[in-house]
Structure formats: C-alpha cells, structure tokens
Amino acid sequence: MAQFPISSNFEGDFVVQLVAVDDAATMDEVAAACAEHSVNRRVAPRPGKILRVRRHSNGEVFPREMKLKDAGLLPTETVDVIFTDI
C-alpha cells in the first residue's frame, strides 16, 4: 500500500490535477478520488452515470475492478475520468 500520484483529467473540467491515490485502490476508487476534486466544484454531478478511468495517452479503458498498481501507469501519468452508461 502506497500513495501513487496520478494526473486527473476529468470530463467537463478545465484543468488536469494532481491526485494521490492508494495503489491498491480499484479503478472505481481512483475515479471517486479524482471526482472529489472536480465534481461539485466545477463539474455538475451527473446522476445515473458511471465514472470510468482510461489511459490518457491511448484511450485504453481500464476494468473497473483493476487495481491501480496493476495498470502499468507511470507516476504522474495522466488518466481521463469519464462519465459513461456502463
């Protein structure tokens, strides 16, 4: 268990932000950690939508249960956090 820095590019927001997340966190937990810094701050909540995490550089969407440490991300690498229906 260690804090792992990622860069959060949250759908609808204007800026990429530094977010530290436990590397044992699932991608759903990563998305929630990123949402803390965007939703209800500058991005309106979107009830009914699911947040998914994808690798910014190639658009690869990570499985929701995947652990952050298994995603092969580099420290501070940017992920997109997007609203989806599934």
Partner 1 sequence: MTKLASSDYYDLVRTTNWTPSYVSEDELFPEMMSGARGIPMEKWESFDEPYKVTYNDYVATQREKDAGVYSVRAALERANFVDSADPGWISTLQAHYGALAVAEYGAATAEARMARFSKAPGNRNMATFGMLDETRHGQIQLFFPHEHTKRSRQWDWAYKAMHTNEWAALAARHMFDDMMFTRDAASVAIMLTFAFETGFTNMQFLGLAADAAEAGDHTFSSLISSIQTDESRHAQQGGPVLKILIENGKKAEAQKMIDIIFWRAWKLFSVLTGPILDYYTPLEHRKQSFKEFMQEWIIGQFERQLNDLGLDTPWYWDEFIRSLDETHHGMHMGVWYWRPTVWWNPAAGVSPEEREWLEEKYPGWNKTFGRCWDQITENLRNGREDLTLPQTLPSICNMCNLPLVGTPGDGWNVKDYQLLHEGRLYHFGSEVDRWVFQQDPERYKGHMNFIDRFLSGKVQPADLAGALKYMGLAPGECGVDAHGYAWAGIGASSRAAE
Q: Smallest distance from the beta carbon of 31 to partner 1, in angstroms? A: 15
Between 49 and 65, name the residue whose CB sits nearer to partner 1: 49
Closer CB to partner 1, residue 20 or residue 65?
Answer: 20
Contacts with partner 1 by CB under 8 A lie at 5, 7, 9, 11-19, 36-37, 40-44, 56-57, 74-78
Look at residues 84, 85, 82 and name the one whose alpha carbon lies nearest to residue 12.
82
> Who contacts 42 (Cβ-Cβ below 8 Å, separation ≥6)?
12, 13, 14
Helix (H, G, I), strand (E, B) or coil at 26: strand
CB of 58 to partner 1, least distance (A): 11
Measured from the CB atom, the residue of 36 and 65 that comes closer to partner 1 is 36
Using a 10 angstrom Cβ sphere, with 0-12 exposed, 13-18 middle and 19 or more buried, the burial of residue 77 is: middle
